[in-house]
Amino acid sequence: MPFEKIKFNDFTFMTKNIAKNKLPSDFLGRLDCHFEKNRKIYSYLTLGLTLIFGLLMFDLRVSVGGDDSAYIIRAYDFIHSLKYPSFQGPLYPMVLSIFVLIFGIKLSVLKFISLIFLLIHIFFFEKTFRKKIPASVLYPALILLSINSFILYFGSQTYSEAMFFTLQIIFSFYFLKFFVFETENIEKNLKINWKKYLLIAFLLFLMTITKSIAFACLGVIFIFLALTKKWKSIVFIFAMFLVISLSWEGIKNIIWRDINLQFAQQGNVLLYKHPYDFSQGKEDFVGYLGRIYDNSLLFLSRHYINFFGLLPPESNLTEEGYANTSVILTLLVLLIFVWSLLMIYKQNKTLLFVGLYAGIMLFTTFVSIQKYWDNNRIVIIYFPFALLLVLGGFYYTFKMILQKYKFVYPIIFLIFLMGTFLITSSRIGVTREIVKANLSGDALYGFTPDWRHYIEMCQWAAENVPANEVIACRKPEIAFIYTSRRFYGIYNVTSENADVLLENLYKNRVTYVIAASLRRDERSNTGMIINTVQYYLSPIAEKYPNKIEFVHQIGTDEDEPAVIYKILE
């Protein structure tokens, strides 16, 4: 059947039937009517739940990963010295810089902006899909998203995920509006409709300068419009996107003398087998296949199972803290995704777009990144669409094939709901005590001893080391947030030669070095630490023992201490 001839189900006309008190005879039809009739209640409910649970989970600390602190630093540098926020997407630091200018580096304010982004996302989510997909798919999805702890986590973090959620759904709103639901053929009159193409290209551009992975959305646009045979639209969107992107690169070059393409900067790292050890060489074809396999195991059988509320995060970690993946669970999730896509293919254009978006973005991610980057924030941004895909797949399965078992559909939703609520509730219990202590004045409450000692040492060094002296440490971004002083970062060890390592410190005018006992496994003190700084200092101490002088220690030797040393001439 040609794609253009696909007909929408009668749920698109549900409001007329409700107004006439004509309820469908089938169970799922009546369920659609219930949600559509009470849509305002569910809209306000989900916004309220997002706000309430977002506040209950609000975290005033920075994350130990350091990327959230890096965004703040880039925002600070951009607004105070007009330094271009390169490497990671520049748009979020630019937006954040406005609030840094007004409020300074006030974590509570900067974090609350992310919660506002999540609320905007929920609002546009309902606006984007209302009357375009079954109501008993949309509103259950909204409820699940509004209480999902993995999404709500980013409502109190200075990561770009919350803003990307918003850009992603606004882009989807206008794309679906222009290319699916407007009765006029957008390709008939370019003089009138060119602004629509420009808006789509501009929103896509904003997504790409927030996260480079958004370039994969070009593939989503191409495949979806190719299925509807809108070839001119593909050309117009791609051409306008290219013009906007090249114009931005030109502005970058003129103002900042930055000739590096954002995608090229990050993409170069992804070409290598190991993101932190380029000596292993670049990835080959077999290696990319391995990435797809490894990342599918990691993100589908671990993180996506957590997102759906089917297993708590702790259940798929080994005792040593490593990812405990499952081939069976991975295949099960893949099977559900593929089946859902097949079920909605000829039933609903909107859900087809949703499925293509989730599938292509996930696949591109699996190919692009090395398995060492095990972080749920890499794939959480596609979860709202994956959730719609799965619920839509189950909906049409029971509506068209397993009609005698339609009552199972709400049971599946309740399973997702119960699991999601239990995971979120357990997280709220921990967060509430931490926030209470943070608001009472103990800004470091909630950190494990290794991190508390590290931050306390950074604060001690900032107060006791002269301002003209340079202090090196492993996590300089976090040190800056808690001290307002710049530190030199030791991220890796590029040589085992003591003279080379020492010369690098002298070259960067480093006179003090902080060596902390940061845990490899955040959950417990196993004795295994992130020993980058210790590994850096070891060859120097062995060859030139008189070059390194002990200065101060915080924490006992048995209690994950942080130590500061002076580097002597």
Rounded Cα–Cα distance for residues 238 and 103 (Å):
39
For the segment 128-148, the average pLDDT, to the nearest whole number, is 96
Count Cβ atoms within 10 A of the Cβ of residue 296 and give its class: 0-12 exposed, 13-18 middle, 19 or more buried. Answer: buried
Collect all residues with Cβ–Cβ distance below 8 Å to 526 and sequence separation of at least 6.
Answer: 320, 321, 519, 520
| Residue 279, pLDDT score | 64
Residue 529 pLDDT grade (very low, low, confident, very high; cuts 50, 70, 90): confident
Q: Sheet harboring 470-473: ordered strands across?
A: 488-489, 470-473, 510-515, 562-567, 548-554
Question: Average pLDDT, stretch 54-69?
Answer: 91
pLDDT, tens digit (0-9, with 9 covering 90-100), for 444-463 = 999 999 999 999 999 999 99
Which residues fall within 8 angstroms of residue 330, CB to CB, at 6 or more apart? 296, 297, 300, 301
> Which residue would you say has higher pLDDT here, 509 or 440?
509
Q: Is the pLDDT of residue 182 over 50?
A: yes
The whole-number pLDDT of residue 247 equals 94
Question: Average pLDDT over the chain, rounded to whole?
Answer: 89
Q: Identify the pLDDT of residue 1.
A: 37
Per-residue confidence band for 323, with pLDDT thresholds at 50, 70 and 90: low
Residue pLDDT, tens place only, 265-292: 556 666 666 666 666 777 778 888 988 9
Does the structure show a pLDDT above 60 at 63? yes
Instruction: Tell how strand 510-515 and strand 548-554 pair up.
Output: unpaired
| Residues 361/217, Cβ–Cβ less than 8 Å | yes
Residue 5 has pLDDT above 50, yes or no: no
Question: Residues 26-47: pLDDT tens digits?
Answer: 889 999 999 999 999 999 999 9
CB 333 within 8 A of CB 300: yes
The percentage of residues in the chain with a pLDDT greater than 70, rounded to a whole number, is 90
8 A C-beta contact, residue 205 and residue 215: no
pLDDT of residue 315: 64
C-alpha 384/C-alpha 354 separation (Å) is: 9
The residue ranges of every structural domain in the chain are 17-175+407-443, 449-567
Count CB atoms within 10 A of the CB of residue 163. 26
> For the residues 422-434, what does the mean pLDDT come to?
89
What the block records as the tokens of 321 is: 């803290």
pLDDT at 297 over 80: yes
pLDDT of residue 65: 83
Q: Is the dihedral of CA 264, 266, 272, 278 positive or negative?
A: positive
For the four alpha carbons of 239, 240, 241 and 246, in that order, the dihedral sign comes to positive
Percent of the chain residues past pLDDT 90, beyond the cut: 69
User: Looking at the predicted structure, is the pLDDT value of residue 73 above 60?
Assistant: yes
**CATH topology for the 449-567 domain:** D-Maltodextrin-Binding Protein; domain 2 (3.40.190)
Q: What angle do CA 151, 155, 157 make, to 5 degrees?
A: 110
- Rounded mean pLDDT, 503-523: 91
Q: Could you say which DSSP state residue 11 is in?
A: G
